[in-house]
């Protein structure tokens, strides 16, 4: 991977998801698919896309004629503060968001097959490079993407979300493979439909993904009556970019309510949302973040952490951050009074692990009360050593602390850990902790580190210090398919390659005539290469009789169905008007 200063800032736990772009594996037909779509985009989008699209294509170094080498793109992307990496299809939403937070564009390395030119349910290099990359050249939109990524790294998912993600990834892999059987696709679609029909309360990440879909992927900008396209899914889908502006697709103002509209990746969208400008996107994002656990805290935030069933971070009002899997918490009067983490836990401040408070030390879990202590006037988290001493809190003394909640802590105070003027941890030997009839800690379990803080002010997904927590995103188990083409298909690809070489090297036109004769006999089902041959002959003022024959053949093929009519009709319009 060719790096730059943007990529160098990526945290280590994301690196397992990056792959080498299999550039040599792209067939000449793959490059022709890219070229066809980009030609259509350049012809059609200037009149319907946001004004920054075409300028963005130039600024991001994206070629019309060939699939871009994304690491070559990086030399240009770094000029606008971004970079690109290749990944294998869909990656976990949290990881996708974190890449975005670091100004890194995640590009699925595969390219859609020829039978999915108009629309593909799977992420591919056309969607990512030709859809996302050009718009990030707009500074205001770039800032929105980065802020959205940061929100996504903090949002809680649920175990159900992960099941849906795996089902979507599996279906997209099957659909991107032209050799997948109908039966296998049908099974995967039924599994996804079954999950989608389950009545689950949406997580923070699920709602955030809805906002992402209706803006970054399928967003419109301007007025409801006269919108322009900026969403990558629309910019990269020549079918949907035409259909989305038709009256049959409902246009709604983009507001926070858009989070409640789910989506189906396997079909075109029945409604789209229109933002008046990019600044409004950030306004709605801020409104949503105000509903998230990272800003709300309290029992509501803790419930989201428990539901996630994975590593999260809970923040005390003292600034102490506790990272681990929150198994449960006790409440009194709708306020948290005791937290219990299971498995490895870590204590941090300002997103850095506190010395000696890592996952090896707290390998069996962590538990601690939260709240105020009876008989003490003031917040012990902000007290000086003298103030603590005046309240009987002295290192080396036996203490009996009773929280207003009823939690009782008894033991010898061995150490006070402070950070930035706040007391974060009281460490006790020979300690017992009780709440009503529950014994929460016993002396024989060793040192008891009691978190200090009257409230839970925040909670968010993931550990506060990922490196110290040894966080890793493993590479997906199910890989996108490495297609095994038949010998006949390989011969077709060779013909595509010959036409490309003739075009790029001003070769002998007579070779095009011979290729056309082969196409008629051996590959009558293919429509894209005849378009390329006709385009070269028209441009070079070749044999008009052969040109007419090819065009007539294509027009007959366009009568097969509406999709073929659109593909061939748009292609003919491009080559005739070139």
Q: Residue 115: in which H helix or E strand, if any?
A: none
149 and 242 both lie in a single domain: yes
pLDDT of residue 34: 94
Please state, as a whole number, how many other Cβ atoms lie within 10 Å of the Cβ of residue 61: 17
Task: Please give the share of the chain, as a percent, with pLDDT higher than 90.
Answer: 69
In a domain, 292, yes or no: no
Q: Are strands 398-402 and 365-369 parallel, antiparallel or unpaired?
A: unpaired
Q: Count up the domains in the chain and report the number.
A: 3
Max mean pLDDT range (13-22, 456-465, 555-564): 456-465
In a domain, 427, yes or no: yes
In a domain, 1, yes or no: no
261 and 374 both lie in a single domain: no
pLDDT of residue 376: 94
pLDDT band at 195 (very low <50, low <70, confident <90, very high): confident
CA torsion through residues 133, 136, 141, 143, sign: positive
Q: Contact 329/306 with Cβ under 8 angstroms?
A: yes
Please state, as a whole number, how many other Cβ atoms lie within 10 Å of the Cβ of residue 436: 10
Q: Contact 257/284 with Cβ under 8 angstroms?
A: no
Q: State yes or no: pLDDT of 417 exceeds 90.
A: yes
Q: Give the mean model confidence (pLDDT) for residues 89-93.
A: 90
pLDDT band at 303 (very low <50, low <70, confident <90, very high): very high
Among 20-34, 115-129, 253-267, 517-531, which stretch is predicted with the lowest mean pLDDT?
115-129
Q: Regarding predicted confidence, which is higher, 62 or 315? A: 315
pLDDT of residue 186: 92
265 and 319 both lie in a single domain: no
**CA–CA dist 28, 22 (Å, integer):** 14
**Coil vs helix vs strand at 66:** coil
Question: Tell me: the pLDDT tens digits for 244-301?
Answer: 999 999 999 999 999 999 887 767 789 999 999 999 999 999 999 999 999 999 999 9
Q: What is the CA radius of gyration of the chain?
A: 29
The three-point CA angle 64-65-69 to 5° equals 85
518 and 553 both lie in a single domain: yes
pLDDT of residue 500: 95
Note down the domain range covering 427.
297-469
In a domain, 80, yes or no: yes
pLDDT band at 1 (very low <50, low <70, confident <90, very high): low
394 and 528 both lie in a single domain: no
- Mean per-residue pLDDT over the chain, rounded: 92
pLDDT band at 240 (very low <50, low <70, confident <90, very high): confident
Q: State yes or no: pLDDT of 200 exceeds 80.
A: no
pLDDT of residue 380: 96
Q: State yes or no: pLDDT of 198 exceeds 70.
A: yes
pLDDT of residue 423: 98
pLDDT of residue 578: 67
Among 258, 286, 314, which residue terminates a domain?
286
pLDDT of residue 134: 87
CA torsion through residues 24, 29, 30, 36, sign: positive
pLDDT of residue 413: 98
Q: State yes or no: pLDDT of 72 exceeds 80.
A: no
Q: Give the mean model confidence (pLDDT) for residues 354-365.
A: 97
Paired tokens of 187: 């099974």
In a domain, 479, yes or no: no
Q: 145: closest CA among 211, 190, 75, 88?
A: 211
pLDDT of residue 266: 67
Q: State yes or no: pLDDT of 226 exceeds 70.
A: yes
524 and 419 both lie in a single domain: no
pLDDT of residue 479: 87
Question: Tell me: the pLDDT tens digits for 467-482?
Answer: 999 999 888 888 887 8
270 and 334 both lie in a single domain: no
Question: Tell me: the pLDDT tens digits for 435-455?
Answer: 999 999 999 999 999 999 999
Among 469, 495, 530, which residue terminates a domain?
469
551 and 502 both lie in a single domain: yes
52 and 127 both lie in a single domain: yes
73 and 157 both lie in a single domain: yes
Question: Tell me: the pLDDT tens digits for 343-357?
Answer: 999 999 999 999 999
502 and 409 both lie in a single domain: no
In a domain, 414, yes or no: yes
Q: State yes or no: pLDDT of 498 exceeds 80.
A: yes
Question: Tell me: the pLDDT tens digits for 521-538?
Answer: 999 999 999 999 999 999
pLDDT of residue 27: 95
**CA–CA dist 230, 299 (Å, integer):** 39
In this structure, what CATH number is given to the domain that contains residue 167? 1.10.800.10
pLDDT of residue 2: 63
* Residue 506 C-alpha from the chain's centroid: 43
In a domain, 477, yes or no: no
pLDDT of residue 554: 95
pLDDT of residue 42: 85
Total residue count of the chain as it appears in this document: 578
**CA–CA dist 331, 338 (Å, integer):** 7
424 and 498 both lie in a single domain: no
Question: Tell me: the pLDDT tens digits for 132-190?
Answer: 888 888 899 999 999 999 999 999 999 889 898 899 899 888 988 888 999 999 999 89
Tokens 């006070």 belong to residue = 416
In a domain, 474, yes or no: no
pLDDT of residue 456: 98
């Amino acid at each position: 991977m060719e790096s730059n200063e943007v990529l160098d800032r990526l945290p280590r736990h994301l690196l397992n998801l990056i792959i080498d772009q299999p550039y040599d594996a792209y067939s000449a037909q793959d490059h022709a698919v890219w070229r066809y779509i980009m030609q259509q985009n350049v012809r059609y989008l200037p009149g319907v896309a946001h004004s920054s699209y075409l300028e963005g294509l130039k600024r991001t170094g994206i070629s019309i004629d060939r699939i871009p080498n994304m690491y070559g793109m990086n030399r240009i992307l770094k000029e606008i503060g971004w970079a690109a990496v290749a990944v294998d299809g869909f990656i976990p939403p949290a990881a996708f968001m974190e890449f975005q937070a670091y100004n890194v564009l995640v590009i699925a390395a595969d390219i859609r097959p020829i039978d999915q030119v108009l629309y593909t349910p799977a992420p591919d290099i056309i969607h990512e490079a030709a859809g996302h990359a050009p718009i990030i050249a707009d500074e205001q939109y770039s800032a929105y993407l980065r802020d959205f990524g940061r929100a996504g790294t903090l949002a809680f998912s649920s175990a159900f979300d992960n099941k849906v993600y795996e089902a979507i990834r599996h279906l997209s892999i099957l659909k991107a493979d032209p050799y997948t059987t109908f039966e296998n696709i049908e099974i995967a679609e039924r599994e996804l439909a079954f999950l989608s029909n389950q009545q689950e309360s949406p997580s923070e990440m699920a709602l955030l993904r809805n906002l992402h879909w209706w803006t970054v992927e399928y967003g419109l900008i301007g007025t409801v009556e006269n919108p322009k396209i900026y969403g990558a899914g629309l910019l990269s889908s020549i079918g949907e970019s035409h259909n989305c502006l038709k009256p049959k697709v409902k246009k709604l103002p983009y507001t926070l309510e858009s989070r409640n509209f789910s989506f189906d990746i396997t079909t075109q969208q029945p409604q789209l949302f229109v933002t008046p400008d990019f600044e409004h996107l950030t306004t709605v994002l801020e409104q949503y973040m105000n509903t998230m656990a990272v800003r709300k805290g309290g029992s509501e935030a803790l419930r989201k952490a428990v539901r996630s069933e994975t590593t999260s971070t809970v923040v005390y009002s003292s600034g102490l951050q506790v990272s681990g899997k929150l198994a449960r918490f006790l409440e009194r009067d709708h306020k948290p009074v005791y937290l219990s983490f299971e498995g490895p836990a870590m204590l941090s401040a300002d997103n850095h692990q506190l010395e000696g408070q890592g996952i090896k030390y707290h390998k069996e879990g962590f538990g601690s009360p939260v709240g105020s202590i009876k008989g003490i006037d003031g917040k012990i988290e902000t007290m000086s050593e003298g103030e603590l001493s005046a309240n009987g809190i002295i290192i080396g003394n036996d203490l009996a602390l009773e929280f207003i909640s009823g939690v009782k802590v008894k033991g010898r105070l061995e150490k006070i850990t402070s950070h930035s003027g706040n007391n974060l941890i009281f460490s006790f030997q020979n300690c017992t902790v009780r709440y009503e009839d529950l014994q929460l800690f016993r002396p024989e379990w060793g040192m008891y580190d009691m978190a200090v803080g009257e409230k839970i002010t925040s909670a968010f997904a993931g550990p506060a210090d990922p490196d110290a927590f040894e966080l890793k995103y493993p590479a997906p188990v199910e890989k996108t398919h490495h297609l095994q083409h038949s010998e006949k298909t390989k011969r077709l690809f060779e013909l595509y390659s010959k036409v490309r070489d003739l075009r790029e090297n001003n070769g002998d036109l007579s070779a095009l005539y011979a290729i056309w004769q082969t196409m008629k006999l051996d590959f009558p089902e293919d429509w894209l290469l005849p378009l390329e041959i006709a385009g070269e002959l028209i441009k070079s003022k070749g044999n008009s009789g052969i040109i007419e024959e090819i065009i007539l053949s294509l027009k007959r093929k366009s009568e097969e169905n509406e999709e073929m009519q659109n593909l061939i009709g748009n292609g003919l319009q491009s080559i005739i008007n070139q």
